[in-house]
Each structure stands twice: as structure tokens, then as C-alpha cells.
Amino acid sequence: MTTITHTEHRSDSTIKHDVQQELEWTPGIDATAIGVAVDDGVVTLSGTVDSFTERIQASRAALRVQGVHALADDIMISAAARALHTDAEIAHTIRQALDADATVPEGHVQVEVADHTVTLHGDVPWHFQRLAAIRDAERVAGVKYVLNHIGLTPRPTAHDTENRIKQAFVRHAQLDADRLEVSVQDSVVTLTGRVASAAEKREAELAAWRSPHVTDVQNLLIVQP
């Protein structure tokens, strides 16, 4: 059995093959409709799919592949699929989904839809609540894109926020804490340093967001296997 380590260089052709395999492996994706190109570890996805959810799933699948440094998502949503739903219908369905989601605080998120592009406004106390609202919108049929303008309710910064995030990195099996730097200004966290993959970069950002005293994360991590 061959084990791929963070230090092993992976060719573009190998990465392309693995991305295609990951797309085929992921439920809800028609891999035959998605083109994959790789240039120096940067993956470009193209083609046309039936829903925004499928587009998001494809992007996340590509980012899971070892050796992917960055992703350009050029996937389009089928015009025929969008034509089945008006902006008013989409807005109404998203509103219902938000109201039914106990994770999203009632009355804290507003919805606008124009040309099948959804914009979410408002403020919520926690990042996971913002993510839940975004996912609710992404799942609605007919959505072409989701713009997130949901802010987080300002809160005082704990004096040990920086140390807590660093300790979270140490505990995380997928992160090399020695390569990561954390700085905190007010309630804004800035991450610098180097990670081995795009997936690791995303995991580091999610770990920082889990702090209850963070309202924004500036992810400046550089992908360098």
C-alpha cells in the first residue's frame, strides 16, 4: 500500500485523476458533466450542473484531494433548471427553510433574490448559525449563487483567545500547529504560515471560527506541501 505524505510532490496528472475519482465517488454529483483541469496544483472545474448544491459539492470534493493548492470554480448552473423557479418562489422557499431551521435565530436573517442570485443579510451570534443559513439557501432549487452578507454580533475579546486557538490547532490531527501563526486584534483573527493542502487551510479556518469570541477570520495561510 502506498501512503501519500504531506511532503510528497504530486503531479498535475495525478491530481486531475484523483479529483475526477473524488467527483465520481461523491453522491449527488454527475461527474460526467464536470470538466477538470490542473495547472501547478491549481484545479479548475468547468461544465454545467443542475443545482447550486451540486456545484458546491463538486468544489468541496476537489478541495479534499491531496496536492490541490487552490480551486477555480467555473461551473455554471443550467438555465433550464433555473427557469423552473421564479425569484419570488426561491425567496419564499428559503424563508420557509430558515424559519424551520432551529439553528438559525428567528428574525435575524433577511433574504433577497435577484436573477436567481440570493443575498443573505442580518446578524447572528455564532458562525455555525451563519453557515446553517447559507446551507439552507444553497439547497433550494433554482438558486444560481448565494452571497453571504450575514455578520456576527460583536462581542468582547477574551484575553486568551489567541492561546485557545493555538491549543485547538495542537489538538487537531489534520493540522501541523508548528507551521501556523495566530494573531488577534479585537475579535478579528489572522492566520499566517504554511499548510500542506487547501483542505488543511480550510480546517484551520474552521478551527479558529469555533472560538466564541471571534467575529472574523482573515485566512492568509499559504498552501505549500
Q: Do domains 12-81 and 160-223 have the same CATH topology?
A: yes
Q: Which residues pair with 124 in a beta bridge?
A: 152
Please state the φ and ψ torsions of residue 77, each to the nearest 5 degrees: -95, 135
Please give the Cα distance from 157 to 152 (Å, whole number). Answer: 13
What CATH class has 85-152?
alpha beta
Q: Does the reported pTM lie above 0.85? A: no
Q: Residue 142 — left, alpha, or beta (φ > 0 → left; ψ -120 to 50 → alpha)?
A: left
Per-residue confidence (pLDDT) for residue 101, from 0 to 100: 95
What is the domain partition of the chain in residue ranges? Answer: 12-81, 85-152, 160-223
Per-residue confidence (pLDDT) for residue 133, from 0 to 100: 97
Rg of the chain on CA atoms, in Å: 19
Q: Which CATH architecture has domain 160-223?
A: 2-Layer Sandwich (3.30)
Please give the Cα distance from 153 to 37 (Å, whole number). Answer: 40
Please give the Cα distance from 12 to 24 (Å, whole number). Answer: 18
**CATH T-level fold of 12-81:** Histidine-containing Protein; Chain: A; (3.30.1340)
Residue where the block lists cell 435565530: 105
Per-residue confidence (pLDDT) for residue 1, from 0 to 100: 29
Per-residue confidence (pLDDT) for residue 156, from 0 to 100: 66
Mean pLDDT by 10 residues, the chain (225 residues): 48 95 94 96 94 92 91 90 88 96 95 95 93 94 93 77 88 84 89 90 90 88 84
